[in-house]
Amino acid sequence: MSEPDFLQEEPAAYGAGSGFKPSPIQEYLRQIQRALQRGDATEHTHRPALKTLLEALDDKIVATNEPKRSACGAPDYSISRRRDHLKLGEVEAKDVGVNLDDVIRSEQLRRYLASMPNLLLTDYLEFRWFVDGKQRETFRLATVAAGGRLAPAPPGELERARHRLINFLAQKPVDIASAEELARRLANLTHVIRDIIIGAFHTGMASQQLRDWRDAFATTLLPELAPNADAKKEAEAVREFADMFAQTLTYGLFSARAASHSVKFTREKAQKLIPRTNPFLRTFFEQITGAALDDEPFAGFVEDLIQTLDHADMARILEDFGKRGHRRDPVVHFYETFLQAYDPKLRELRGVYYTPEPVVNYIVQSIDRLLKDRFGIKAGLADHSKITVKRKEGDREITDETHRVLILDPATGTATFLYTVLDFIRSQFKTKKNAGQWGSYVHEHLLPRLFGFELLMAPYAVAHFKIGLALAAMDEEPLFRQQWSYDPQGNERVNIFLTNTLEDLERATEQLGPLRALSDEANSAYEIKKHKPVLVVLGNPPYSNFGQQNKNPWILNLLEDYKRGLNEKKLNLNDDFIKFVRWAQWRIEQTGSGIIGYITNNVYLDGLTHRRMRECLLEAFDEIYLVNLHGSAKKQETTPDGGKDDNVFDITVGVSIALFVKLPDVAADGSPPQTSRRKKDGGVLPNAATTKPLATVRYVDLWGRRAHKYEWLDDHHTENTKWKKLSPEAPDFLFVPKDSSAAKEYARHWSIRDLFPVSGNGVKTERDKISIHFTEKEVERVVGEFRINSVSELRQKFELGSDSRDWSVERAKADVLDHAKGMLTTRILYRPLDVRHTWYSGRGKGFIGTPAGNLMNHFLSGPNLGLITTRQTKEVFSVLATTIICGHKSCAGYDINTLFPLYLYPNGKLPEEDLFAHDNGRRPNLSAEFIKDFCGKLQVKFVPDGFGRPSKREVGPECIFNYAYAVFHSPTYRQRYAEFLRADFPRLPLTSDFELFRTLAGFGGELVDLHARGKGEPRGLSFPVKGDNVIEEVRYQPPSRPLTRSSTTLSPSGGEGRGEGDAHAGRVWINNRQYVEGVPEAAWTFPIGGYLPAQRWLKDRIGRTLGYEEQTEYQRIIWALIETKRLMGEIDASIKQHGGWPFK
């Protein structure tokens, strides 16, 4: 027989006395076969059989299948120990015959493997067992034959399969003995709970409890959580709510477990163990973990959280939390490990980054010094004095007694700043040996003065946990904990509130029943925001989300002060850190005096669109202290001597510390206060009504490696910092040092904005992978797909995801169909010296999102030349010439690029008044005022087209363009005016020396030919080795000399191989055999606008095969870089020969 008899149904006459009893696996396969032969089986049909099999193999376990649970995205079975319900593993079952390889590659299984240490995947016949995310065993019970019959595996294989299943069921939970491991375990389970909640909403199975809490969060914290008719926004809102809810569950349990000293940790005990110092979390948790939790699809994973915590060695973990490592906060490290494992993108979205202790120390110690020295508060941050304040509520005048030094962190995160304040004050008590007074002081004068606001659930809970540990003196040596511990009294709370700092100043609508805890939290925060005379605002507000969050009208209205009168096309002022600066300014103005101590993105120190912000800060405050910590990877910053400059964070934007001081109204000598230009509501008084001078600004740069910066910050504060006094002036009010003499010289030059009346940003496709390609054929293929496929097919085929404001699949397809008669392929300068291909109709929000049609038509209508540069330069200043349309990152990667065409055609964007007419319909894009000044200086005649005849003292637009191009490539020009090039468009100095002009125009013409016209014959470059021409790696090998004669080897093709002693010029390797020979290191590392063209061009083509034209083009690019460096030196030498700088 080809298959065992045990799958055959025994005759009715066999009966019990026959002695035949199938094994659990035999009976299981019989049930599967019966279902398959009926012809109506689904994956759900076989679930009872699998449950029976697993429980028969081990009677000490229970296999639980909950359809509601699996419908919301959880695995099909949960395996637990019968005696204590301890989770042992999970089973995910697919229908018979489903390809398990495809399942393993799915997002669902990747999620499961990350969070479930013991998982069995099966199609009911094949089984794959995973332990800690890695596949341990694969085995099969049978295969499907014709007619639904099963062909069982050989008996030996079946016996091995039985043992493997038993081993799966026998897996024991592992005790957790480190905070790091606990954080990862909790994060993975929290991720699953979040996804199940998302699934419940998407399938319409969300409970009333979940819907109520979502409404409450939307009302009191984040309005964007409210239900939305727009499917995309609704999905985002559900995800955000699920994040908050899942993290609340996790950190509620974590807080309870930390407070538990019992051997067994259960849900019932957890409800009573959350510290009373966090009343919101306590009440919230009591509600969501009550009886109603049993009906939620994620209930089993809440039990998993409890079991994980129960198996955590909390004594050892809490000891970890009490250890003060060198510049490493163990509590914060726990949170960051959790967030990294849970969702790194959430951390970036909300701008969550731990502030290094030296930064916090500098800010806290500086504030303490300023309170003592500038406010006359002798005890500084430790002050316990009280004041009386009056305020109005309607017609009533209310008098309140409050502490004088109230301290608030409005974006408290994990409470690093508040903890440091507590620790700083405690250290003073230690110095004075006043441990006996510490408890009374904490109760009466510390906790009532410390406030924190936090929006995210996880850091909110961690902040409470961290302050709770500090109050219990867990951060002290065990010998001294009893002496310095403080046990909160009664219902005394830590004043860290779950709230949105930037939301409207209105009391939250009081929620009913169990949801009241959330509105109570919001209203407590409201009282502090509105009525407490906060004297100190400090912290590290989020600054990486570029205005994506917190768009409520109240804060945006306040932010208008920073935007008034700017008249800019694009305002980079909606980043959350700017909102928090504006909020803190408003809060200090309400108090009447105080100090802000922040670390933030440093872009506002010299950003062009931040000039009004700087002016407002100068008007509102009396003293400003700025520590520019630099460290911008995006700007590729180096120290003044060219060394490495590190960021104090693991981020790419530069940062700075700012201390804004508004002094009390009455000066120390009793003289009357000066009138401020700020109204009480934050508005600005007319200039005539002001007598107060602008703030005094003190500044210091801190460059170098991270360790050096940390050491400096630990050793300094405002009093011992060697400040440089700045004098910010209109119109820019720069918060960085400025060479006033160079500024006057530079201001006399012509801004290219005034020189070229017409300009605009480059092409922004919104979908480069769709719109930009290496060859015309690739463009034609994609456009062809857009013509014949539906919107849904295109979205799936090209993995396009969600649409954006300026680009949608539907509009792109419509654009292609409306222009079906012509193939509108054209070349485009995509990156420096990197020409690619696109399809260009000029329609906005079409196949290309922002095509800048009116501007680019000047290049599509006839021959032209354009200058590309940036208004602000955060990278290496560069300009680039082009004869074709260009992308918005064609010259610089970080800053938006602006294109200035040399000629204007009638069907493009034109100035209000024509300058010069010409027979072919084009005219130069040069202002009449500039031409007049230019011709007057050089005593030349201007001709409106072409190069002109310089020998006859006739100069055309292209001659002027070449001159400007040479000047902008002068290394001395770039160095001399570096600080101004960072802030605005470059300015062109004019010379009255005609010979210098002609010489520079000649050099500029050579550069234009190299960069824009593809001219220049490479010399000394070769591609010597035969191969498949596929770019597999990109690596540079510097030039070398032979070590010995015998060390040189030859490749089989006759070219040089990779012998260590080979004599060669610089080589650029594209794979393990082939390279471009003769590339000097200066060309390999030559930058244009932050790009390294010699490297970027190849790296963008990894995986592609280089044809003859591309091989030649790459060598031409290298030659252009070699020649550019040479010509830049020639330009500087010529200027020096003609009198140097400034031009005469």
The pLDDT value given to residue 19: 52
Cβ count within 10 A of residue 886? 27
Are 585 and 617 in contact, with CB atoms under 8 Å apart?
yes
Q: Is 512:215 a contact under the CB 8 Å cutoff?
A: no
Write the single-letter amino acid at 65. N
> Taken in order 663, 666, 672, 676, is the CA torsion positive or negative?
positive
User: Domains of the chain, with CATH numbers?
Assistant: 5-169 (3.90.1570), 179-349 (no CATH), 1035-1137 (no CATH)
- All residue ranges of the chain with pLDDT < 50 are 1-4, 11-18, 326, 351, 546-547, 667-689, 914, 916-917, 1043-1061
Are 161 and 82 in contact, with CB atoms under 8 Å apart? no
Q: Which residues pair with 887 in a beta bridge?
A: 763
What six digits make up the tokens of 45? 């049909």
Residue type, 867: L
Q: What pLDDT, on the 0 to 100 scale, is given for residue 265? A: 85
**pLDDT at residue 505 in the model:** 67
Find all residues with CB under 8 Å of 1066, minimum gap 6, and list them.
1036, 1037, 1038, 1039, 1078, 1079, 1080, 1081, 1083, 1084
Phi, psi of 607 (to 5 degrees): -60, 140
Q: How many Å separate Cα 378 from the centre of its chain?
A: 42
- pLDDT reported for residue 276: 82
Contacts of 512 (CB under 8 A, 6+ apart): none
Which residue in 676, 652, 669 sits closest to 602, CA to CA?
652
**pLDDT at residue 2, rounded to an integer:** 43
Query: What phi-psi label fits residue 788: left (phi over 0), alpha (psi between -120 and 50 degrees) or beta?
Result: alpha
pLDDT value of position 686:
44
Contact 1025, 1074 (CB under 8 A): yes
Spatial CB neighbours of 90, under 8 Å, sequence gap ≥ 6 = 75, 77, 78, 79, 112, 116, 118, 119, 120
pLDDT at 675: 42
Q: Determine the pLDDT at residue 736.
A: 93
Distance CA 1060, CA 1043 (A): 8
Helix residue ranges per DSSP H, 203-289 = 208-220, 231-259, 267-273, 279-288
| Stretch (H or E) spanning 84 | none
pLDDT at 17: 47
Report which DSSP code applies to 509. Answer: P
Instruction: Provide CB contacts within 8 A for 1, sequence distance 6+.
Output: none
Is residue 341 within 8 Å of residue 184, measured between CB atoms?
Answer: yes
- Judged by DSSP in three states, 1107 sits in coil
Is residue 300 a contact partner of residue 294, using CB atoms and an 8 Å limit?
Answer: no
